[in-house]
Structure 1
Amino acid sequence: MAKGTKVTEKEREKMWQLYQQGGSFKAIAKKLRRSPDTVSRHVHEYEAAVRATGYVLNQGNIK
């Protein structure tokens, strides 16, 4: 990918899925043709969003 291109939601999800399967940032970056820094940033952002969503959904179960 050219420098400065935006990462799509599908790409972010794919990065996260590959990371969950035990991939390294460097290997994922090579596969998706992105920089390891970009992959790292988006994996961490996606992970934070998943955690926040789980937290909000679990609040309804607490009495």
Structure 2
Amino acid sequence: MKRLVKSEEKKIAGVCGGISQYINPELDPIIIRAAWLILTLFNPLMLLAYFILALVLPDTKYKTV
């Protein structure tokens, strides 16, 4: 069972890297980061969602496979 966790390949908090690993492990996190940035430009509430996910998501070391 897949779980959404923060990535170890962090730029800020590891949220976008964790989302890219959850969607597809071979997906480049830069694509998710770019999409998140574009969505944040159109909807500033995405910035709030990012910080909430940064607080709520567990670290990779707690991941259960």
Name the TM-score class by shorter chain. Answer: 0.3 to 0.5
TM-score, normalised to structure 2, is 0.39
Higher-helix-fraction structure: 1
TM-score, normalised to structure 1, is 0.40
